[in-house]
């Protein structure tokens, strides 16, 4: 389990699922890591559209960390929920 804020334990979600299949590189399945978050550009664009339309949306927060930049979906998740477990970083 990963360590969250205050040392709380959480899930270790390292890989994506496609059609219900874990994409962890095992058993002939492709490897599809989740970190850094693969849809960061789409999330930022959606937030910018919402902000421009006055329906919400704010810039992503968070600082740079191992394997990811500041102000990304990954940095936002880390700032809210704690560090990405080392075995999940690529």
Domain boundaries, the chain: 2-88
What sign has the CA pseudo-torsion 73, 75, 80, 85? positive
Q: What confidence score (pLDDT) does residue 89 get? A: 75
**Beta strand segments in the chain, E:** 2-3, 9-10, 17-18, 21-22
pTM over 0.85: no
What pairs with residue 33 in β-bridges? Answer: 15
Q: What confidence score (pLDDT) does residue 90 get? A: 63
Answer for the pair 35, 88: CB distance below 8 angstroms, yes or no.
yes
CA distance 18 to 13: 14
Per-residue pLDDT for the chain (90 aa), expressed as one digit of tens each?
445 555 555 566 888 888 888 888 888 888 888 888 888 889 988 998 998 999 988 888 889 988 889 999 999 889 888 888 887 876
Q: What confidence score (pLDDT) does residue 34 get? A: 87
């Amino acid at each position: 389990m990963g360590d969250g804020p205050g040392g709380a334990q959480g899930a270790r979600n390292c890989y994506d699922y496609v059609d219900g299949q874990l994409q962890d590189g095992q058993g002939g399945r492709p490897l599809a890591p989740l970190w850094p978050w693969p849809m960061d550009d789409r999330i930022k664009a959606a937030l910018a559209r919402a902000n421009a339309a006055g329906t919400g949306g704010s810039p992503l927060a968070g600082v740079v960390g191992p394997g990811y930049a500041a102000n990304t979906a990954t940095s936002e998740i880390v700032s809210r929920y704690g560090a990405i477990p080392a075995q999940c970083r690529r």
